[in-house]
């Protein structure tokens, strides 16, 4: 059976979307592959289709529990019974049963933390792994060095799994991040397929307000007036909850979602949003990765993102159906303080580093978060001399903070620029600026009335095609 026949049989599609055919072909030819495909273009098909055409199991490293559950559920809806997520939703007995019968599953989703478990590695190494997939592979570079250090072990784990053909998938990776992924996964040689990150159907609006109260009022007005459903992103869990409550009081079907909530509650809210029981989610960055909802009409940022990659990842959740959508970023004086504070506080302080390594009996007294403790535990192997470990970890901490502050300064430079927002984003990813389109950004001109709920469900917003653009440019006097 060829690719086209398999595509029709298993997914019901007559043709591939941009990039899918090239990536699937590379994988089927037995090549390690790194693919950058824009958000919403069907990255999961790039490993699911080979899963049906190759013998053995596909092992997918996935960053979030909700993402795993959603993708397994989608496969089961399509009639695929041999799919499972190895995560904390399983009871110990269920997990044992799955691990004892792994060879019966075609698609196995797993977190990097669970895959770091020696017992799990041993079980997986006995499998015939047709394809090893790193989904949302930018997390290796974006999270791995401090937030999710188990990502840094995946290259070594891949060797323990007998070096299977590997596919790294992402929607937002600069050239530097792509080099990071290849180096850390030890993929050499590797086929790289890099497609434009641009989503021309998403208008980009940045709006400065005088103060916090004005920004809150603007948010309420936007959510009330814009066509729904939509997502509002916050850096603060507390603020996400407070704004969700305010929206509920205005009659909006809204709820909050963040990493501090119970897993079952987060899964419930996600499902309610997917099936149209909620119109608006007030969320932290914990929400949205891999969410298969095509009709999200707006994404609003109430707080400044810490880096361009995460901003692009989050706005890319709008308009996956190809229809016009809008991304709006609101900011007011003093907004810099929250992301900078989070950057400073995410990693352990110098006194905590000293106490953890030099006085381990006092480590419980220094108030480490889970993230800080994972960071310190991971870097404990740097040196056999404790004092040298302390010195090196302090240096790593300082370098990581400087790196993240630099990434945030890039966001601020883009924010303060007077040039086209889309051109700025594409330049960041080393892409050429596109031909100018209608409803591009606030610098080029966006009419938010076009995205109003009053426009009606069937109204279409003109998005200029390349033919229209060329004609307009050639006829310009």
Could you state, in order of their start, the residue ranges of all structural domains in the chain? 3-194, 202-229+293-337+410-466
Q: Given this model, what pLDDT does residue 456 score? A: 54
CATH of the domain spanning 3-194: 3.40.50.300
Helix (H, G, I), strand (E, B) or coil at 82: coil
Q: Given this model, what pLDDT does residue 231 score? A: 97
Question: Phi first, then psi: what are they for 180, rounded to 5°?
Answer: -60, -45
Beta pairing class for 33-36 and 191-194: parallel
Q: Given this model, what pLDDT does residue 459 score? A: 45
Q: Do domains 3-194 and 202-229+293-337+410-466 have the same CATH topology?
A: yes
CATH top-level class for 202-229+293-337+410-466?
A: alpha beta
pTM of the model: 0.86
- Residue 189: cis peptide before it, omega within 30 degrees of 0: yes
Q: Which residues pair with 329 in a beta bridge?
A: 206, 301
Contact 163, 418 (CB under 8 A): no
Q: Which residues pair with 129 in a beta bridge?
A: 57
- Residue 463: cis peptide before it, omega within 30 degrees of 0: no
Contact 107, 82 (CB under 8 A): yes
Burial 224-233 (b: 16+ CB within 10 A, else e): eebbbbbbbb
Burial 145-160 (b: 16+ CB within 10 A, else e): bbebbbbbbbbebbee
Q: Locate all alpha helices (DSSP H) within 174-236, ordered by sequence.
A: 175-185, 212-225
Contact 215, 332 (CB under 8 A): yes
Q: Given this model, what pLDDT does residue 455 score? A: 63
Beta pairing class for 107-110 and 83-86: parallel
pLDDT, tens digit only, all 477 positions of the chain: 789 999 999 888 889 988 999 999 999 999 999 999 987 778 899 999 999 999 999 999 998 777 788 788 888 888 899 999 998 778 889 999 999 999 999 999 999 989 999 999 999 999 999 999 999 898 888 777 777 888 889 999 999 999 999 999 998 888 989 999 999 999 989 999 999 899 999 999 999 999 999 999 999 999 999 999 999 999 999 999 999 999 999 999 999 999 888 878 888 898 899 999 999 999 998 787 767 788 999 999 999 999 999 899 899 999 998 899 999 999 999 999 999 999 999 999 999 999 999 887 776 788 898 889 889 988 888 878 889 999 999 999 999 999 999 999 999 999 999 999 999 999 999 988 767 788 999 999 998 998 998 765 444 444 444 444 444 344 433
What does the alpha-carbon distance between residue 138 and residue 134 come to, in Å, rounded to a whole number? 9
């Amino acid at each position: 059976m060829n690719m086209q026949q398999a595509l029709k049989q298993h997914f019901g599609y007559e043709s591939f979307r941009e990039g899918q055919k090239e990536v699937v072909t590379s994988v089927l030819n037995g090549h390690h592959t790194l693919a950058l495909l824009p958000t919403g273009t069907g990255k999961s098909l790039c490993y699911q289709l080979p899963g049906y055409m190759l013998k053995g199991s596909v092992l997918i490293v996935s960053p979030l529990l909700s993402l795993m559950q959603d993708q397994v559920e989608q496969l089961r809806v399509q009639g695929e019974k041999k799919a499972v997520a190895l995560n904390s939703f399983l009871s110990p007995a269920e997990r044992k049963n799955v691990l004892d019968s792994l060879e019966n599953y075609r698609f196995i989703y797993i977190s990097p933390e669970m895959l770091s478990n020696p017992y799990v590695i041993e079980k997986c190494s006995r499998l015939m792994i047709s394809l090893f997939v790193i989904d949302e592979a930018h997390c290796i570079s974006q999270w791995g060095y401090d937030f999710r250090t188990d990502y840094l072990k995946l290259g070594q784990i891949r060797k323990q799994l007998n070096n299977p053909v590997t596919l790294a998938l992402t929607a937002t990776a600069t050239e530097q991040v792509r080099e990071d992924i290849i180096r850390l996964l030890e993929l050499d040689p590797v086929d790289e397929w890099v497609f434009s990150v641009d989503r021309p159907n998403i208008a980009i609006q940045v709006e400065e307000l005088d103060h916090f109260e004005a920004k809150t009022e603007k948010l309420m007005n936007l959510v009330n007036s814009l066509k729904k459903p939509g997502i509002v992103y916050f850096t603060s869990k507390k603020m996400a909850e407070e704004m969700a409550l305010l929206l509920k009081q205005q009659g909006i079907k809204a709820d909050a979602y963040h990493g501090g909530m119970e897993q079952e509650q987060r899964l419930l809210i996600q499902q309610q949003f997917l099936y149209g029981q909620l119109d608006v989610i007030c969320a932290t960055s914990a929400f949205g990765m891999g969410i298969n909802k095509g009709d999200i009409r707006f994404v609003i940022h109430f707080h400044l993102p810490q880096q361009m990659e995460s901003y692009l990842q989050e706005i890319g959740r709008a308009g996956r159906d190809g229809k016009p959508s809008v991304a709006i970023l609101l900011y007011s004086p003093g907004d810099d303080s929250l992301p900078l504070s989070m950057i400073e506080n995410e990693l352990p302080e110098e006194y905590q580093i000293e106490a953890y390594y030099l006085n381990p009996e006092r480590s419980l007294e220094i108030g480490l978060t889970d993230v800080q403790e994972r960071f310190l535990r991971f870097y404990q192997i740097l040196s056999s001399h404790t004092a040298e470990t302390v010195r090196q970890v302090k240096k790593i901490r300082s370098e990581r903070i400087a790196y993240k502050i630099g990434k945030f300064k890039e966001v601020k430079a883009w924010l303060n620029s007077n040039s086209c927002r889309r051109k700025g984003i594409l330049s960041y990813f080393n892409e050429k600026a596109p031909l100018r389109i209608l409803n591009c950004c606030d610098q080029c001109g966006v009419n938010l009335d076009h995205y109003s709920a009053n426009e009606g469900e069937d109204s279409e917003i003109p998005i200029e095609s390349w033919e229209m653009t060329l004609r307009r440019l050639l006829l310009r006097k």
